[in-house]
Amino acid sequence: MRIGIMSFAHIHAESYVQNLRQAPDVDLIGFSDTDAERGQHFAEVFNLRWFPTHQALLAERPEGVVICSENSRRRELVEMAAAAGSHILCEKPIEVTLRDAQAMRDICAANHVRFMTAFPTRFAPSLLSVKAMLARNELGRLYAANGINHSEIPREHRAWFAQKALAGGGAVMDHTVHLVDILRWLLGCEVSEVYAEVDNLFYPGEVDVDTAGIVLLTFENGVFASIDCSWSRPTSYPRWGHFKMDLLGENGFVTVDALAQHLTLYSKRATRHPQWINWGPDSNQGMINEFVASIREQREPLITWRDGYEALRVALACYDSAHSGQPVRLEHG
């Protein structure tokens, strides 16, 4: 199966190259990037064919594309890919406004291509085991969740992550959507209320986006859940950050540290002191395999446009709440 990557603006593209090369029966045909310097650099790093325009990549008729552009340039690429008949795996957050996200859904439907949102954490064995615990009702009635997805500021890797025009926001845009998606998936219902404290506490005057955020959500079933999405780790922290969650129910609680499986390296040659090296399973591989399987089996992927849309909706509601200083209700038809 022929798969291409559209844009290397998002750092995850670098991991997806490896994942696509390891996925069964995938022919990774190359990547497109309109930034020639970046294109030439990664073509060399990965020994991968670079297409200087997206249309040139799409002219090769890939059956699927992985879209790794800046947040605010996803709609444009989705429209090109859909028109070319390629199924889409799209980085998160899927866009920066609900109107853009809805337009993406419409163009995919019109061209009969499927849209998957890149939420790799759904493939983490730790979270799958929590999902199974809940299915067996081991925790009984669920009460609350305490989620952490805090990290370093990602601008060291790509500057646009901390630029309002391209990212649509900062820490809230970047790091609420993963836990929102996991909680929606675990609880099986939607977010009904959003409250958020949001600010630029860590890099005032340096960036024009938010860098600190604590979000408190209420779900339709009454469960409330917090998410710390702050860019609060220094760039010297042993790893980019954390993915953690405690879930409290009437029979006890479960605590998840999805990235607990790491070694600690203290090296004069490393950039972090110490540095954590993951030895746990690579959730990205499960996600890429699912994307490929959904194309091969001509079915909806496990994670759809709707999942990306609902998560974006919550992230945007955080900004509304922060602006008003009050909780925001979300209606679900």
Q: List residues binding another protein (CB under 8 A).
A: 124-126, 129-130, 133, 138-139, 251-270, 274, 277-282, 285-286
Of 137 and 324, the one with the shorter C-beta distance to another protein is 137
Of 68 and 134, the one with the shorter C-beta distance to another protein is 134
Phi, psi (deg, nearest 5) at residue 179: -70, -35
Q: How far is the CB of 125 from another protein (least distance, A)?
A: 5
Residues near 205 by beta carbon (within 8 Å), at least 6 away in sequence: none
Q: How far is the CB of 181 from another protein (least distance, A)?
A: 18
Q: How far is the CB of 130 from another protein (least distance, A)?
A: 6
| Cα(276)–Cα(266) distance, integer angstroms | 9
Is the sign of the CA dihedral 199, 204, 209, 212 positive or negative? negative
Of 159 and 263, the one with the shorter C-beta distance to another protein is 263
Q: How far is the CB of 133 from another protein (least distance, A)?
A: 7
Q: Which amino acid is located at 314 in the chain? A: V
Give the Cβ contact number of residue 208 at 10 Å: 13
Helices (H), 33-97: 36-46, 54-58, 74-83
Give the distance from CA 213 to its chain's centroid.
Answer: 17
Of 55 and 251, the one with the shorter C-beta distance to another protein is 251
Q: How far is the CB of 304 from another protein (least distance, A)?
A: 24
Of 234 and 281, the one with the shorter C-beta distance to another protein is 281
Pairing of strands 212-219, 224-228: antiparallel
| Cα(26)–Cα(193) distance, integer angstroms | 42
